[in-house]
Amino acid sequence: MSIYQQCCQYQGQVVRIWCHDGVEHIGEITRVDREFVWVRPVGDGPGGPGYGFYGWGWGFPLALAAIAGLAILPFFFW
């Protein structure tokens, strides 16, 4: 299964994403297209508890080509 297909399958769920450069992102997948996946961070961020600095929008885009792997977080507690 491709990264694109996994992102589509996990849309609306909280996931952990690892990029090829070693950066790790934890957030909800809010949108997916053929080039990017949008991730809305969860937990405490620069803007305080909740959705952090990014507000209630789509979050920030990550290039699908930069993603090394992702895993769903089924037991994520707010």
By residue count, the chain amounts to: 78
- Please report the domains of the chain, with CATH numbers, ordered by start residue: 3-72 (2.30.30.100)
Closest residue by Cα to residue 24 from 57, 58, 73: 73
pLDDT, tens digit, for every residue of 57-67?
778 999 999 99
First-last CA distance in the chain: 29
Closest residue by Cα to residue 64 from 27, 26, 20: 20
At 77, the amino acid letter reads F
Q: Tell me what pLDDT residue 51 has.
A: 45
**How large is the average pLDDT for residues 34-40?**
94
**How large is the average pLDDT for residues 34-62?**
70
Residues 39 and 64: beta-carbon distance below 8 Å: no
Q: Quick check: pTM over 0.95? A: no
Q: Is the pLDDT of residue 46 over 50?
A: no
Q: Tell me what pLDDT residue 6 has.
A: 94
Residue 36: how many other CB atoms lie within 10 Å: 17
Distance CA 72, CA 59 (A): 17
